[in-house]
Amino acid sequence: MIETVAGPDGVVEVVMDNPPVNALPVAGWYALAEALSGVDGTVRAVVLRAEGRGFNAGVDIKELKAARDFSALVGVNRGCAAAFAAVYECPVPVVAAVHGFCLGGGIGLVGNADIIVASEDATFGLPEVDRGALGAATHLSRLVPQHRMRAMMYTSATATAAELHAYGSVLSVVPREQLRDTALGVAREIAAKDPAVIRAAKESLNGIDPWDVRRSYRYEQGFTFELNLSGVADKVRDTFGEP
């Protein structure tokens, strides 16, 4: 589900591979958090990417629907929070390589990444209101302007890689077959710098960030709990079909 591949140049690839759509269950989010939190002193940069049809389709809705209580909901909310925080707090820069769909929890990952490269077919969105949930507007706000974010949230619309490139949140847009090499190229350029300086730069940039991404995301999650406790989320999820 989550694979870590270390290269000789100090670049580590963290790869999501959970067919059919890379929607991660509770265990998957924790495994991703563990992989990103396990970066040691030999690592100089991380590439976060995925295999399969798309980068990430968010949480495993079927796991939530199958649960007889709120344990899966609590688990996935905490797991997502841990994974998003692990990207943000990784001591070295994280380059996200996005192809296909990047939805829900995928937005949480890339919104907390340091750099994003995307393939021409990449799309980004938060279909949360169609799933009876909220969350990751914190991270979408780091990718698109405020009013665009609100429109995307209310309508479940998606944005293209080209649009995000125009905003400056995506570094480059390339053909899909070039995506991995492009991401690795960016990561290797970073890895060639003095590692102490790069780690200090990452820590300092987080320190001046106007967003408290941990707190704002957990605030959003409170409304997801409210929707579930009130029964609204179950009603909405009952209409949910396969992507």
The tens digit of pLDDT for each residue in 228-243 reads 889 898 888 777 554 4
Pick the CATH number of 2-177+192-237 from 2.40.110.10, 3.90.226.10, 3.30.70.1050, 1.20.1640.10: 3.90.226.10
- Vertex 37: Cα angle to 98 and 59 (nearest 5): 50
Q: Please give the backbone phi and psi of residue 136, each rounded to the nearest 5 degrees, phi first.
A: 75, 10
- Count Cβ atoms below 10 Å from residue 208 Cβ, excluding itself: 6
The pLDDT > 70 percentage for the chain reads 98
Query: Looking at residues 72-98, what average pLDDT do you find?
Result: 97
What's this model's pTM, rounded to 2 decimal places? 0.95
Would you kindly state where each structural domain of the chain is located, as residue ranges?
2-177+192-237
